[in-house]
Amino acid sequence: MKFESIPNEIFIEIFEFLSIFDIFYSFNQLNDHFNQLIRTIPLHLNFKHIQKSTFDRFCKFLLTNPDVKNQVYSLKLSNKDTCGQINEFLSFFSLDEFIHLHSLTLIQVKENSLQKLKSILPLIPQLHSFHLLDSNDIQLTYPLPSNLQILTIPTLSSIDKLSSITNLTISGCSIDQLLNYLFKNAPMLTYLNIQYLSSYYSTITNYSNVNFTKAVHLKELVISNFQYKFEDFQFLVKYIPKLITLKFTGTYDLDMIDANQWESLITSSLSCLETVKFIFNYIYKPNDSHMEDRFNQFQTDFWIKQHQWYTEYSLSNYSALIYTVPYMLNSYKLDIDSNRYSNQLINTLNNVKNLTIYHAAIRETWGHYFPNVISLTILPPEYTHRPTLGTQAVRSLKPIVDLSNLQHLSISSKFYIKDSHVLLRILQDSPKLSSLAISVRALEQFAIDKELCEYLNKMIKKLDIYKYHSSSFKFHHQIDEFCKIFSNIEELKCNIVPKDYLLFLLQHLPKLSILKAYLWKINDYDYFYFWFKKQTSKLNLLFHMNYIDKYETELVVWINRNIN
């Protein structure tokens, strides 16, 4: 069977495993059959973490093939480490050109970009999902598309036309904002996700004289960080009578960890509730014997037999953690002397993708196993001067973490890494590892280990050697050796003192696409800016500078290596 004779249905299934950019670069103009086929598939363009060369190339392709814009159903643009990707895209295109655009996501958007969208957003007839992520300084105050149903915003500002919103995610708000504004202006709301519910955002101090509106259609409520008292939550749920699913994370308030109070509240005010998932983390004094008693209250017939809401808990010297199973968040912090108490026959930590673990906990943990971790951070014990990280600790990781899925590893710069075999062993056991945060001094120490250097060169594409108030490269031979070891690096975060080292990195790292450099004590900001602009004028790159304090200036360089 010839390649071209494979049924279209199979090709479409294959396309699901490829990025949109790879599909068009590989199949466009291959022949008439593939030209027609790739112009029938819906496009979900995600420019987050995309190299500038890929971004430029696909924008050029869209400009020369305007019919392809009709295939775009979702679009994600990010300013994070990209030197204004959102503004650049909007300089090429007006979003109302994408007539089938259903979903738009903007990450770290700036006010000037939003102003460009002000008159355009309402003109995108199919847009039903709009997300502003990592943009906490933005106030969204202008009209939204009339058909919009799914919305993510930083805060509850004075937005018009919320009547069509059914799904809302907010970075931060207060209880009175929910009751006095949101429930009144978004009557069709069925799903609400709040990252921080706090009195910090409050505008009302006395609730007694206010007539609040009930959210009669709200079925699911997610609160990631609850910063009120239990009695405040009792007040809130009176206005959510039809709630079916509650996902709740509370910290540091002992009053929240009272199973009897929760049982009474659920029975009296949440009669429709079917699913409860919670995580309570409490910092307490050593030898507090009452914590286990509190946790065991969640094992009564009400929780186990009547609702099948199961919990397990973990105790360490200074903290107590209880959660419904399976553990619902993707991040977990494994403390020193942390012991897990579970009656479950299955592992309940499958959702954890990002794990932070203390060095001592590697050897002393009981019962924890994380099979799906993709990001691992290893921290030293507090108040310990230069603790040693040795091969025994690496061997002890295996019963705790499945390293076969690991993509990012962060090792605190406070560690003294005993020998090169520590890092080599992790690289050998982690075939998907491509991102590393580590002390540059540790890397210099092991530069004579050829096998380790070969692994680093082959595997690591993203490297973070930043340490506040410390130069990454003190001597020229160090940066020269670094560029040889990491010749395949694509993203780098570091500290620079001599400004010429910036140019050296750009010239000697041929695959570098993003450089985030923190410059030490720039006395004349404007002079440096124009000097760097002149020195790099022949390179195909964008950059921006951000003054942090008198010691550091952040420079982000977005590089296109494919110069046409």
Of 106, 87, 216, which Cα lies nearest the Cα of 152? 106
CA dist 113 → 55, 106, 138, 162 (Å): 18, 10, 11, 22
For 303, which DSSP code? Answer: I
| Burial profile 20-45: b = 16 or more Cβ within 10 angstroms, e = fewer | bbebbeebeeeeeebeebbeebebeb
**Are 523 and 410 part of one and the same domain?**
no
Q: Is the dihedral of CA 362, 365, 366, 370 positive or negative?
A: negative
Residue 193, H or E segment: strand 191-197
Domain boundary among 460, 495, 513: 460
Residue 493, H or E segment: strand 491-496
Can you point out the beta strands (E) in 501-551?
514-520, 541-547
What pLDDT shows up at residue 222?
A: 97
For 174, which DSSP code? Answer: -
**Are 390 and 435 part of one and the same domain?**
yes
DSSP string over 366-388: BS--BTT-SEEEEEPPTT-SS-E
Q: How many residues can be counted in the chain?
A: 564
| Residue 488 CB contacts under 8 Å (≥ 6 apart), including other chains | 457, 458, 460, 461, 511
What pLDDT shows up at residue 462?
A: 96
**Are 511 and 421 part of one and the same domain?**
no
What pLDDT shows up at residue 14?
A: 60
Lowest mean pLDDT among 149-153, 192-196, 517-521: 517-521
φ, ψ for residue 553 (rounded to 5)? -125, 130
Residue 146 CA to residue 127 CA, distance in Å, equals 9
Lowest mean pLDDT among 54-63, 143-152, 376-385: 376-385
Inside any domain, residue 142: no
Q: Do the Cβ atoms of 298 and 322 come closer than 8 Å? A: yes
pLDDT bucket at 109, cuts 50 / 70 / 90: confident
Question: What integer is the mean pLDDT of 50-60?
Answer: 88
Owning domain of residue 347: 335-460
Highest mean pLDDT pick, 140-144, 210-214, 347-351? 347-351
pLDDT of residue 555 exceeding 70, the answer is yes
Question: What integer is the mean pLDDT of 30-42?
Answer: 68
What pLDDT shows up at residue 193?
A: 97
CA 119 to chain centroid, in Å, comes to 30
Residue 391 CA to residue 411 CA, distance in Å, equals 14
DSSP string over 243-271: --EEEEEEES-GGG--HHHHHHHHHHH-T
Q: Do the Cβ atoms of 410 and 373 come closer than 8 Å? A: no
| Residue 310 CB contacts under 8 Å (≥ 6 apart), including other chains | 303, 304, 324, 325, 344
Token pair for 30: 């291959």
**Beta-carbon neighbour count of residue 495 at 10 Å?**
20
CA dist 275 → 223, 233, 305 (Å): 14, 17, 14
Inside any domain, residue 100: no
Domain boundary among 460, 479, 500: 460
pLDDT bucket at 286, cuts 50 / 70 / 90: low
User: What proportion of the chain, given as a percentage, has pLDDT over 70?
Assistant: 86
7: preceding bond cis by omega (within 30 degrees)? no
Lowest mean pLDDT among 33-42, 94-103, 296-305: 33-42
User: What proportion of the chain, given as a percentage, has pLDDT over 90?
Assistant: 42
Residue 294 CA to residue 257 CA, distance in Å, equals 7
**Are 447 and 523 part of one and the same domain?**
no
Inside any domain, residue 57: no
Name the average pLDDT for the chain: 85
99: left (phi over 0), alpha (psi -120 to 50) or beta: alpha
Q: Is 205 exposed, middle or buried (0-12, 13-18, 19+ CB in 10 A)?
A: exposed
Inside any domain, residue 529: yes
Inside any domain, residue 412: yes
**Are 434 and 525 part of one and the same domain?**
no
pLDDT digits (tens, 9 = 90+) for 530-553: 999 999 988 888 898 888 887 788
Inside any domain, residue 511: yes
More confident of the two residues 396 and 403: 403
**Are 429 and 520 part of one and the same domain?**
no
What pLDDT shows up at residue 160?
A: 62
pLDDT of residue 384 exceeding 90, the answer is no
**Are 438 and 493 part of one and the same domain?**
no
Reduce the DSSP state of residue 396 to 3 states and report it.
helix
pTM: 0.87
**Are 494 and 533 part of one and the same domain?**
yes
pLDDT bucket at 431, cuts 50 / 70 / 90: very high
CA dist 22 → 6, 15, 25, 35 (Å): 19, 9, 5, 14
**Are 347 and 439 part of one and the same domain?**
yes
**Are 421 and 491 part of one and the same domain?**
no
Residue 78, H or E segment: strand 72-78
CATH number reported for the structural domain that contains residue 541 in this entry: 3.40.50.150
Domain boundary among 441, 460, 479: 460
Q: Do the Cβ atoms of 118 and 142 come closer than 8 Å? A: yes
Of 478, 466, 522, which Cα lies nearest the Cα of 499? 522
Question: What integer is the mean pLDDT of 162-189?
Answer: 91
Inside any domain, residue 363: yes
| Residue 478 CB contacts under 8 Å (≥ 6 apart), including other chains | 440, 444
More confident of the two residues 32 and 151: 151
**Total count of domains within the chain:** 2
* Residue entry with tokens 């705790």: 400
**Are 491 and 455 part of one and the same domain?**
no
Residue 41 CA to residue 374 CA, distance in Å, equals 31
What pLDDT shows up at residue 563?
A: 39
What pLDDT shows up at residue 475?
A: 82
Question: What integer is the mean pLDDT of 515-524?
Answer: 87
* Residue entry with tokens 């020998």: 419
| Residue 110 CB contacts under 8 Å (≥ 6 apart), including other chains | 79, 84, 86, 87
pLDDT bucket at 65, cuts 50 / 70 / 90: confident
| Residue 420 CB contacts under 8 Å (≥ 6 apart), including other chains | 445, 446, 449, 452
What pLDDT shows up at residue 564?
A: 39
Residue type at position 11: F
Inside any domain, residue 112: no
**Are 455 and 342 part of one and the same domain?**
yes
Of 259, 307, 311, 313, which Cα lies nearest the Cα of 281? 313
Residue 157 CA to residue 172 CA, distance in Å, equals 11
Reduce the DSSP state of residue 434 to 3 states and report it.
coil
What pLDDT shows up at residue 28?
A: 65
- Please report, to the nearest 10 degrees, the dihedral formed by the alpha carbons of residues 412, 349, 150, 191 taken in order: -130
* Residue entry with tokens 């869209």: 62
